[in-house]
Amino acid sequence: MAQQPRSDRTIPLEPTTLRVALLGCGVVGTEVVRLLTTQAADLAARVGARLELVGIAVRDVEAERDPVVDRSLLTSDAEGLVEKADVVVEVVGGIEPARSLLLRAIEHGAAVVTANKALLAQDGPTLYAAADAAGVDLYFEAAVAGAIPIVRPVRESLVGDRVQRVLGIVNGTTNYVLDRMATEGLDLDAAVAEAQALGYAEADPTADVEGFDAAAKAAILASLAFHTRVSIDDVDRQGISSVTADDVAWAARTGHTIKLLAIAERSDEGVQVRVHPALVPLTHPLAGVRGAFNAVFVEAEAAGELMFYGRGAGGAPTASAVLGDVVSVARHRVLGGRGPVESAYAALPVLPASAARTRYQVRLEVTDQPGVLAQVAAVLAEHGVSIEAVRQPPGRALEPGVDDVAQLVISTHTATEAALRATVAAIEGLDVVRRVLSVLRVEGA
């Protein structure tokens, strides 16, 4: 027998109207209001009940708002608002008060829709457990890759298959920054400043640039794909702050482009989830993902390779995903039934970064003299790291007045992260190596 919601106070028996409470009216919230307002008749037809926006909780009720926002709905009493809604949409962001408000909404029998990747990646199981106990829906399509339907495909469409790997560009800001570095030769700071001016990056771009945003999304996708709890703390994270214009130029010279990738993969030993900049061959579809767009590759045993592409950020695209969830949970209110609950039965071991196996490209600045390459190659061999190719670009002087140095660009075959780290440390210790210019993984080859 279907589990009934714990509270029947907010559940109309034959609903002709469902009360929707909106928490947050910023970039995304404003566009949620616009869709709820302008598409009201269509939404009612699709749901089978009218969706009535009963309140909008914000921090500052006096602040200027888009004219689409009915100011009489604004309130600073978010706690009171969630108690009188059938559906609560949270687009506030951050951990608190978002978590407490969602838990309160669930406790009062409301279905909840959130775009909050940070909260889900840190404390998703608490929300799932509360929603399960109350018998209500918890939906979060907008939390990963904005408008792109990727949560539902992984959570529902592929649930009969065995997902092996998820590989994607899930942060629009960093993709824009790397794209501008590659196409315009900008340095990182200039490209980030451009992204801020265009509204892609936050005033404090740390969450994007340092990979926290992508890591949260990777954790959510990995949890769904592998039926295993993965939190943001399990994700090996490296942002793009160390990527230089020189790295980007070098990538192009070797037939690659640099992308910030989120990777979640299953092996016989468990699952490994990581976010880092990587060299992607120019022939790979992810290399063609330009500007602030996102794209996610999913590899499943029976389905094979699937690719999802679109706008991963921005008010209207994200609101589209939010409204899709609102319609789904509202339909359940009208017709009965519930969406999926947490699926963490597999409980696979979450492996450390050192277990990851990839190919690498290592760029070194070395003394230009006979025998240097042999010394470097010997270190790689000692650590069991196989060389795929070595390039020594022509033109020796890297700095004015320095003419006895050369660059070596070493591409490896697949090696573990642990072996590569030990190799690089040993290479750094060689007298003939002036500095390690960069170590980048190669993905998608």
**Applying CB under 6 A, which residues contact ligand NDP?**
23-29, 57-60, 63, 78, 91-93, 97, 115-117, 142, 146, 313-314, 318
Contact predicate 438/362, CB 8 Å: yes
Query: Which CB, 33 or 47, lies closer to ligand NDP?
Result: 33
Query: Which CB, 53 or 170, lies closer to ligand HSE?
Result: 170
Q: Does 320 bind ligand HSE (CB under 6 A)?
A: no
Which of ligand NDP, ligand HSE, none is residue 5 near (CB under 5 to 8 Å by kind)? none
* Token pair for 112: 């909840």
Which residue's CB atom is positioned nearest to ligand NDP?
26
Q: What is the DSSP letter of 399?
A: B
Q: Which uninterrupted H or E stretch holds 123?
A: helix 117-134
Helices 417-428 and 372-382, axial angle in degrees (round to 10): 150
Distance CA 39, CA 36 (A): 6
Concerning whether 117 is annotated as a catalytic residue, the answer is no
Nearest alpha-carbon partner for 312 in 130, 64, 133, 144: 144
Distance CA 412, CA 311 (A): 34
Residues found in the chain:
445
End-to-end CA distance of the chain: 49
Q: Which uninterrupted H or E stretch holds 99?
A: helix 98-107
Q: Does 172 bind ligand HSE (CB under 6 A)?
A: yes
Which of ligand HSE, ligand NDP, none is residue 208 near (CB under 5 to 8 Å by kind)? ligand HSE
From candidates 10, 116, 173, 231, binder to ligand HSE by CB under 6 A: 173
Q: Does 213 bind ligand HSE (CB under 6 A)?
A: yes
- Mapped onto helix, strand or coil, the DSSP state of residue 371 is coil
Q: Does 177 bind ligand HSE (CB under 6 A)?
A: no
Query: Which CB, 29 or 211, lies closer to ligand NDP?
Result: 29
Q: Give the interface segment with ligand HSE, choosing from 7-15, 169-177, 283-291, 341-349 (CB under 6 A).
A: 169-177
For the bound state, the minimum distance from the C-beta of residue 200 to ligand HSE, rounded and expressed in Å, comes to 6
For the bound state, the minimum distance from the C-beta of residue 172 to ligand HSE, rounded and expressed in Å, comes to 4
Query: Which CB, 31 or 247, lies closer to ligand NDP?
Result: 31
Q: Does 171 bind ligand HSE (CB under 6 A)?
A: yes
**Catalytic residue (choose from 84, 117, 217, 259):** 217
For the bound state, the minimum distance from the C-beta of residue 313 to ligand HSE, rounded and expressed in Å, comes to 3
Q: Does 312 bind ligand HSE (CB under 6 A)?
A: yes
Nearest alpha-carbon partner for 389 in 419, 364, 361, 410: 410
**Binding to ligand HSE in span 34-93, by CB under 6 A:** none
The overall longest dimension of the chain from CA atoms, in Å, is 84
Distance CA 70, CA 105 (A): 22
**Binding to ligand HSE in span 258-297, by CB under 6 A:** none
Contact predicate 353/359, CB 8 Å: no
Q: Does 150 bind ligand HSE (CB under 6 A)?
A: no
Query: Which CB, 171 or 407, lies closer to ligand HSE?
Result: 171
Contact predicate 379/433, CB 8 Å: no
For the bound state, the minimum distance from the C-beta of residue 384 to ligand NDP, rounded and expressed in Å, comes to 42
Q: Which amino acid is at 369?
A: Q
Please provide residue 311's backbone torsions phi and psi, each rounded to the nearest 5 degrees.
-85, 120
Q: Give the interface segment with ligand HSE, choosing from 13-21, 80-88, 165-173, 338-346 (CB under 6 A).
A: 165-173
- What residues does 295 pair with on adjacent strands? 169, 309
What residues are annotated to the active site? 217
Residues lying near ligand HSE in the complex (CB under 6 A) are found at: 171-173, 200, 208, 213, 312-313
